[in-house]
Structure 1
Amino acid sequence: MAPITKEEEGGEAWESRLRRRRTPAGSPTPPAGTAPSPPPSQRGKRERPGASRGRKRARATGREDEKDAEAAAASASPPAGHASSGASSGTSSPLRWPELPRAVLGEDSYGEQILEPFHEIDPAIVRAHGKLKTKYFAKLDRQLKLVSLDQRIPSSCMVDPRLLSVRKAATNSILQIAKVTVGLSSYIDDKMLGRTSGFLIDWDVENRIGTVLTSALVIQSKSPSLDEWSATDEYATHAEVRVHFMDKAATTVVANLLHYDKHYNLALFKVSMDLSAQIPSFTSELKFAEEVFVLGRDEGRYLTIDHGNVAYEGPSRLQRHHYMFITCRINKLGIGGPVINHGGQVAGMYSHPGLAFTPSSIILRCLQMWKSFNCIPRLHVGMKFSAISLLDLPHREVIACKCDIDDGLIVTQVSEGSIAEKLGVRHGDIIKSWNGENISTTIELENFLLDMCEKHLDKGNSIGSSVDLSIGIFHTRKGKHGTIKMTVNVSDDVEVIAEGTYPVTTADCTSGDDDDSGIIQGERVSRETPDDEDGDMESYFF
């Protein structure tokens, strides 16, 4: 597909960027060592009174006309090409400042030169000087737009003095990944829908086809809820998506949507292109506190770079389980861009405005299943979790003392009507193991669920079939350990965690604060009876 011609962007006013020039005797014109000097006959001499009176008479009678000004401008101009762009010849002419000739009348008591007053200079010369200054600034403006002099390019975090120790080591890695980092924009009826970054993850040499990975937010048309688990977001799969490359031609091509996944917030696009860069490698070895860089492209295709560390933080109740977090503030247009380590390996994709990224361990499993099954299936367990290992130490100590548990996942919400709710799993319970495997973080859980799906489908099973799970659980309210058997479905759709609700009736007007009578567990909402609270382990800690 033929590239789209890039629209020329409007330039900025550059006069404010020009260096102020100091001029003697209050002159508004800057000095220039290369400007022509006054004739010898004018140096150090006062002008003859008769000549001055002659000019005054000429001004009084208005004899100078525009034709005289043009002639004077021609005679006062530097050699041809001084104010031209050089477009008509192979070599651009040097930039020269048009110096207004002013006779030196002497020196003051401080040794400073006394120059001829402006009002005594030939008005035609002054007008010519004004026109030449306009040409000078126009040429300077053109020169400042040269790629080597362009000051409009935004700065990145790499100029931060605090990064001096890592700048040299990281520069080559960043510039290498930058070669495959692109910008994306989406449109419906030529109206922009969204803009993200992305990066090439595959290259078909024979067919010259590239695969770009980005966030599904590039085609998101509606997002009515902050809770991702509500799955109320909508996506415009028919939107036209354009991929913007940073190359000599500023190439833009229309991409074809290969796949998008609402649960993992990723999208894959196919683009026809030429490639002169190496496809980056991924790493699944990512540790908390590790330094990373986030790359992206802004509206002008310029590279954005942000630096931070992998945070000791897990997803909130509103965020899905596959996110890790970065300690720095990130350019919003970096969404969809690669998260890389110092070695130039892709450690993840920045995928959420809340400083969240999807680690490569999740991305690689998703890509593998998409290639194998043309979808990204997942087990829906109907629960939200937070990791004990990411809690503050005093909180972890309390859990260890009261529950005799050092690790695991805390249940932060159970979906209304789910299998887990029917089996008695409640908010605040602790999941210790899955099929006998100890799992410490939600990232480990997502990898476990994806691995279970892949093995299940490799055996010839299909989407919609079921998988049995054995879950080790600590019932916090009762202070009891146990195991539950749970059968869950394999689905390629987004998982929804529904909040339990029930209608308030007149019966609630007379019931006591702790009266759960009339509420059928699992039908309206899961609410424990007084018997369920026996042996309560002070669940308010969780």
Structure 2
Amino acid sequence: MSPKPRKSVAALSGPKSSPARSTRSKSKPDSDIAEHDDSPKSSSGRLTRSRAKAIEQVGNRTVEESAGVSSNKKKRRIEEETAGESPATGAPEGHGTLASRPLPPTHPPPTPRVRKSSCIVRLEVARLQKLTLRRDKKDDPSTAAALPTPSDKNMVLGMSRSIVRVSSPPSEGKLISPRTGFVISWDGATKRAMIVTLSTYFKKKPHEPQPELWVHLPDKSIVQGRLIFVNRHYSLAILEITSDLPLQVPTFGSAAKYGQEILALSRDENMSLVARRGAITWSDGSLMWRNHYMFLDCDVPEGGEGGPVVDYCGSIIAVVYRDGPCAAIISISIIHALYEMWEQFSCVARPVFDMDLKSVELASFSLREELSLKHNIEGGFIVEHIANDSALENLGVRRGDVIFFEDKCGTMLPEIEDYLLHLGRRYLGEKRSMVLKLEVHDIEGTCKETITLPLEFKVSSGKVA
């Protein structure tokens, strides 16, 4: 059999295209698609169903390749950044310089919400309330008005470790009303302090045990106070405490003076220092043979009894005896005399002097004019009341008389009280009898006489049984 003739390359390539076909090929409407895909071309060049499916598959493959390239680039970038980090990056917090610390994220990821118990919520609310109160804590208006300048605040702040609050524990009931006290002695070695405060009748009956007293310190800690001295005439008490908080003995002045501008200090129920600004009025008064009171023109808040009255230099010049409007005070000179006498002799002595007096210098102007024109009296003391059947009454002293002390011991009642305590100290030291000479003027008549009063002393140990 003879071999078949081989076809030429032109014959294998297919029939020649027509001119119309050639024109279409030149315009190449599908040539761009054909160049970018591997799909088989239809013989006619039309977009058939099979060819559209093939184009779709090619497009999906292209998107996946593009995503793969982007992912690879991101991985390479992360690896480069990781490789470039310093080995100290993972070091514990606190190492390196301040600038090397990582910055906190601008928007930290939200923490997952965890349902908290009601107890935890209440504790958090209470803590936030305390923080808010501490941040927004303000003085009461009267204290803010009393301490307007930084120097005033610094002066009172310097006395913070000297002022305490005294109360009775709940187990004792309302044995005493809360009051203020101040440090009069402090021993840093033994951590013991002496506290002066105002006393009331601490014991209901003589056979009852000594009551327990609480002393609230400036840091709001509470220690037990032991009552070691009480004086009924002046209503003063001294307590002994042991304190881990270092306390401070304040500066003491010599004596209170009429017309002097003052600050009355006390501690409220929150242990905050409370201040009232005022002055000592030009008036005197006595009650039940007690001629040593002076008065303020300001209101001392409740709990201010026993609190210090200081001058504008920060020195204590008096103690509040009665709070409220027109508060009564006792000069610090009287308290010093009592304390020094008790320290030296373990007791206090005072002459029995059963009269209520009033200074002529502080009397009304009309009365002073009458005394000056009719009786030539410019000073002395008017007898307001006198005890029945007393030694003075038996010597002829009557209500309304004007008396003068022969020793020229002063023209104001607090000065007379200082003089009587001076006589008491002399009596304890010398142990001898004494007399007091008085010049008595009868302003209802013309009688004037000098009398000699034998002094009887009342000695009190101040011990609490």
User: What TM-score comes out, normalization by structure 1 length?
Assistant: 0.59
Could you say which structure has the higher helix fraction?
A: 2
Post-superposition offset of 1:138: 7.6
Q: Post-superposition shift, 1:286?
A: 2.9
Secondary structure of the corresponding residue to residue 278 of structure 2: strand
Kept after mapping to 1: 8 A contact 2:409/2:416: no
Report what 1:402 is aligned to. Answer: 374
CA distance in 2 between partners of 1:83 and 1:153 (Å): 37
Question: Pick from 144, 147, 162: which aligns with 1:159?
Answer: 144
Three-state SS of the structure 1 residue aligned to 2:233 is coil
| Match status 1:312 vs 2:282 | yes
1:482 partner letter: E
Give the conservation status (yes or no) of the 8 Å contact 2:304–2:323: no
Task: Tell me the matched-pair count.
Answer: 351
* Cα-to-partner distance string for 1:75-106 (whole Å, 9 max, x where unaligned): xxx93399999xxxxxxxxxxxxxxxxxxxxx
Runs of 5+ unmatched residues, structure 1? 1-77, 86-130, 223-233, 495-542
Specify whether residues 311 and 274 from structure 1 end up closer, same or farther in structure 2 by C-alpha distance, changes over 3 A only.
same
Gaps of at least 5 residues in structure 2 are 1-108
Question: Which whole-Å deviations, capped at 9, do the CAs of 1:40-70 have from their partners, x for residues lacking one?
Answer: xxxxxxxxxxxxxxxxxxxxxxxxxxxxxxx
Is the 8 Å Cα contact of residues 143 and 149 (structure 1) preserved in structure 2? no
Counterparts of 1:293 and 1:235, CA distance in 2 = 41
Instruction: Name 2:315's counterpart in structure 1.
Output: 345
The residue aligned with 2:435 is 468
Which residue of the other structure, out of 155, 165, 168, is the alignment partner of 1:173? 155
What is residue 3 of structure 2 aligned with on the other side? Answer: none
**Root-mean-square deviation over aligned CA pairs:** 3.2
Query: Are residues 1:480 and 2:463 paired?
Result: no
Indicate yes or no: 2:168 matched with 1:186: yes
CA distance in structure 1 between the partners assigned to 2:381 and 2:127 by the alignment: 61
Could you tell me which residue of structure 2 aligns to residue 203 of structure 1?
186
Is contact 2:348-2:424 (8 Å) kept? no
Q: 1:390 Cα deviation (Å)?
A: 1.3
**Superposition deviation, residue 176 in structure 1:** 1.2
- Take 2:115 and 2:278, find their aligned partners in 1: how far apart are those partners? 47
Which residue, 393, 416, 425 being the options, matches 1:445?
Answer: 416
Structure-2 residue corresponding to 1:321: 291
Measured in 1, the distance between the counterparts of 2:289 and 2:113 equals 62
- The CA deviation at 1:180 is 1.4
> Does the CA contact (< 8 Å) of 1:339 and 1:349 recur in 2?
yes
> Partners in 1 of 2:268 and 2:381 — Cα distance?
38
Deviation (angstroms), 1:289: 1.7
- Say if 1:138 and 1:172 are closer, same or farther in 2 by CA, change over 3 A: same
- The residue type equivalent to 1:440 in the other structure is T
Describe the shift of the 1:139–1:396 C-alpha distance in structure 2 as closer, same or farther (beyond 3 A): same
State whether structure 2 residue 252 is matched by structure 1 residue 269: no
Asked if residue 436 in structure 1 is aligned to residue 403 in structure 2, the reply is no
State whether residues 83 and 135 of structure 1, in contact with CA within 8 Å, keep that contact through their aligned partners in structure 2.
Answer: no
Q: 1:81 to 1:372 in 2, by over 3 A?
A: farther
Change (3 A) 1:191 1:285: closer
Change (3 A) 1:266 1:479: same
1:188, distance to aligned residue in structure 2 (A): 8.1
Q: Could you tell me how far 1:365 is from its partner in structure 2?
A: 0.6
Structure 1 residue 362 displacement after superposition: 0.7
Query: Is it true that 1:335 corresponds to 2:305 in the alignment?
Result: yes
Alignment-derived partner of residue 459 in structure 2? 492
> Closer, same or farther in 2 for the Cα pair 1:291/1:412, shift >3 Å?
same
Cross-structure match for 2:129: 144
Conserved 8 A contact 1:292-1:307: yes
Partner in structure 1 of residue 222 of structure 2 = 252
**TM-score, normalised to structure 2's length?**
0.69
**Contact map agreement 2:196 2:236 (CA 8 A) in 1:** yes
Alpha-carbon distance in structure 2 between the residues aligned to 1:427 and 1:275: 53
How far the C-alpha of 1:379 sits from its partner, in A, is 0.4
Contact kept? 1:156, 1:305, Cα under 8 Å:
no
Q: How far apart in 1 are the matches of 2:265 and 2:290?
A: 23
Shift, 1:446, TM fit: 0.5
Output the CA distance in 1 between the equivalents of 2:449 and 2:197. 42
Specify whether residues 181 and 438 from structure 1 end up closer, same or farther in structure 2 by C-alpha distance, changes over 3 A only. Answer: closer
The residue type paired with residue 222 of structure 2 is: T
Q: Report Cα offsets for 1:339-390 as digits up to 9, x if no partner.
A: 1111111111112236111111111111111111112210012211111111
Residues in 2 aligned to 1:262 and 1:163: alpha-carbon distance in whole angstroms: 34
Aligned-pair CA distance for 1:169: 2.9
Compare CA radii of gyration and give the structure with the larger one: 2
Counterparts of residues 58-97 of structure 1 (less than 5 Å): 79-80=110-111
